Amino acid sequence: MLDKKSSYYNLSERKFLLRVVDILLVTVCLFLATLFLNFSYLNFSKEPIFTWIFLLIFYYLIFGEVFQLYNLNVSNNRYLIVRSVVLTAFSTTIFYIFTPFISPELPTNRLQIVYFFLLISVPIILWRFLYTWLIFSPKFFKNIVFIGKSERIEKILNKIKNDNFHNVISYISDKEITGINGFQNISSAKLDSFIKKSYITEVIVSKAGFSKEIIDSLNKELILLFEKGVNIISYEGFYEDLTGRVPKEYLDHNFYKYINFSKNNENRFYLFWVRFIDIAISLFGLISFTVLIPLLLLGNLIGNRGPLFYTQIRVGENGKFFKIYKLRSMVKNAEINGAVWAKKNDARITSFGKFLRNTRLDEVPQFFNILKGEMSIIGPRPERPEFVKDLEDKIPFYAIRHVVRPGLTGWAQVNYPYASTLEEQRIKLRYDLYYIKERNSFLDFKILIKTITTILYYRGQ
């Protein structure tokens, strides 16, 4: 077996490490505070302590996800670390102290709540600074080698060259790529000796475009490397894991080899659970919406000046048309000359409409569509028939996104909100296809969290 001296921690290991240390650190600091400081809000000698700690951990992890505390890109920026930790600790504190019968009784000395907040925030900030210094070091990056034609691998090499997870030791290609170090010519590179010397973690391979002679020679060396324990993965697999969308190479006449329905599309328990969640969230959303209607009417009167609601025809599951309900965010008669895609900084959007879009409030009436079964909470966003017909003519695989119920939010929506050109629609489609292929409860939860984060950070459009 190949001797691997790399100390690389993969993404799941890093996230697991962050969560485990956060939980242990918060618990230990609270315990020590009860022993050595004047902190009495949590009494570790009382029987409900396990319930109290479990509730605290639950809130901390949930709000940690919402405020991106476990986003690895955030974990490399000290300002973002402080912001995420403070927001997480503050939200946890508020929800924790106002959870009746499960959390401890409110202390008579309200300073105890301030101590509680500081004990679950300051130690985490210090630990995260230590993590940034220790883990975000090149010796903990994944050492990788790319093999492929330069025009195929150039974009992805530029994408990862400055991230904090991959260390591109070399790329073996037909020609050198400007700005990327480590070029080796495919016709003369010797993989075995080079990879053993460099302690490579992974080899990413794309054979497309190479001659049969090069591919045969390459296969022989890859087999030897595989026998020695080197992880060899396809370019397409690496791309999909990195970007969260299917590669454009999947969209050819052999698409069925790569894009299949998730098994959950036929899992009755999963589908029942999705429908149950849809109904529960929609009922809660519509009840909450009725409380906001007076404020929305006032804002609409000042900033929109016209009808508050409007409807549109959209394309739903299996291509069926349905009427979607929204709050109006554009000027009246915005499409008097025909349907036009919305775009970033769209001049048709009113001042109040911008607020509605950024907070996603304009989508809230669609909870009624969800109750009717025309939509789901999670799924590809439904498009208008005028756009769908044009897109299906220009993008043959576009109709695939209609095999599942459209959603109020979706994987494409949280990863790529704008799509005002044909190429952007192609990219967005690849996110939708990734969701259809990988659909599961964890991915649904991830989309919900990213949607909440988008709303809280005012990023919706």
Q: Residue 72's pLDDT is what?
A: 78
pLDDT at residue 211 is higher than 90: no
- CB of 303 closer than 8 Å to CB of 353: yes
Residues 429 and 285 in one domain: yes
Residues 114 and 160 in one domain: no
- What does DSSP assign to residue 201? S
Q: Residue 250's pLDDT is what?
A: 85
93 found inside a domain: yes
Residues 287 and 347 in one domain: yes
Last residue within a domain, chosen from 135, 164, 184: 135
More confident: 344 or 445 = 445
Region label for 458, one of left (φ > 0), alpha (ψ between -120 and 50) or beta (otherwise): left
Long-range contacts formed by 56-60: CB under 8 A, 24+ apart: 56/26, 56/92, 56/96, 56/103, 56/120, 57/23, 57/26, 57/27, 59/91, 59/92, 59/95, 59/96, 60/22, 60/23, 60/26, 60/88, 60/89, 60/92, 60/120
Backbone angles phi, psi at 154, to 5 degrees: -60, -50
pLDDT at residue 380 is higher than 50: yes
pLDDT at residue 82 is higher than 50: yes
Count of domains observed in the chain: 3
More confident: 248 or 278 = 278
Count of helices and strands (H, E) across the chain: 16, 9
- CB of 447 closer than 8 Å to CB of 378: yes
Residues 129 and 150 in one domain: no
- CB of 303 closer than 8 Å to CB of 350: yes
Q: Residue 340's pLDDT is what?
A: 66
258 found inside a domain: no
Last residue within a domain, chosen from 190, 210, 243: 243
Residues 17 and 83 in one domain: yes
Q: Residue 10's pLDDT is what?
A: 66
pLDDT band at 131 (very low <50, low <70, confident <90, very high): confident
Last residue within a domain, chosen from 243, 276, 309: 243
Give me the mean pLDDT over the 222-245 stretch: 87
Q: Residue 11's pLDDT is what?
A: 67
Q: Residue 62's pLDDT is what?
A: 93
pLDDT at residue 461 is higher than 70: no
439 found inside a domain: yes
Q: What percent of the chain has pLDDT over 70?
A: 92
255 found inside a domain: no
Backbone angles phi, psi at 155, to 5 degrees: -65, -45
Residues 181 and 314 in one domain: no
pLDDT band at 2 (very low <50, low <70, confident <90, very high): very low
Give me the mean pLDDT over the 186-209 stretch: 79
73: Cβ–Cβ under 8 A, 6 or more apart, which residues? 164
Q: Residue 22's pLDDT is what?
A: 95
Q: Residue 115's pLDDT is what?
A: 94
Q: Residue 338's pLDDT is what?
A: 61
Q: Residue 314's pLDDT is what?
A: 95
- CB of 305 closer than 8 Å to CB of 377: no
Residues 439 and 302 in one domain: yes
Residues 60 and 148 in one domain: no
Q: Residue 360's pLDDT is what?
A: 86
Q: Cα–Cα distance between 281 and 63 in angstroms, integer?
A: 18
DSSP letters along 214-239, please? HHHHHHHHHHHHHHTT-EEEEHHHHH
| Tokens 């490490």, residue located | 17
Of the candidates 247, 407, 246, the one whose C-alpha atom is nearest the C-alpha of residue 316 is 407
Q: Residue 199's pLDDT is what?
A: 75
Q: What is the mean pLDDT of the chain?
A: 86
24 found inside a domain: yes
| CA 155 to the chain's CA centroid | 21
Give me the mean pLDDT over the 243-263 stretch: 84
Q: Cα–Cα distance between 273 and 253 in angstroms, integer?
A: 35
Query: What one-letter code names the amino acid at 274?
Result: V
The 10 Å CB-count burial string (b at 16+, else e) for 331-367 is eeebeeeeeeebeeebeebbebbbbbbbbbbbbbbbb
More confident: 457 or 461 = 457
Q: Which residues pair with 183 in a beta bridge?
A: 171
pLDDT band at 14 (very low <50, low <70, confident <90, very high): confident
More confident: 157 or 161 = 157
pLDDT at residue 4 is higher than 60: no
253 found inside a domain: no
Q: Residue 1's pLDDT is what?
A: 45
Residues 116 and 153 in one domain: no
Per-residue pLDDT tens over the stretch 305-347: 788 898 999 999 999 999 999 998 887 766 666 666 666 667 7
Q: How far apart are the first and last CA of the chain?
A: 52
Give me the mean pLDDT over the 43-72 stretch: 91
pLDDT band at 456 (very low <50, low <70, confident <90, very high): confident
Q: Which domain holds residue 114?
A: 11-135
pLDDT at residue 293 is higher than 80: yes
186 found inside a domain: yes
Residues 231 and 365 in one domain: no
pLDDT band at 169 (very low <50, low <70, confident <90, very high): confident
Other beta carbons less than 10 A from residue 276's beta carbon:
10
4 found inside a domain: no
Residues 15 and 97 in one domain: yes
Give me the mean pLDDT over the 128-144 stretch: 76
Q: What is the CATH number of the domain that holds 195?
A: 3.40.50.20
pLDDT at residue 226 is higher than 60: yes
Q: Cα–Cα distance between 299 and 327 in angstroms, integer?
A: 12
Q: What percent of the chain has pLDDT over 90?
A: 42
Residues 128 and 44 in one domain: yes
Comparing 29-33, 194-198, 272-276, 351-355, which segment has the lowest mean pLDDT?
194-198
415: Cβ–Cβ under 8 A, 6 or more apart, which residues? 244, 245, 431, 450
Give me the mean pLDDT over the 436-441 stretch: 92
Give me the mean pLDDT over the 394-410 stretch: 91
Other beta carbons less than 10 A from residue 188's beta carbon:
7
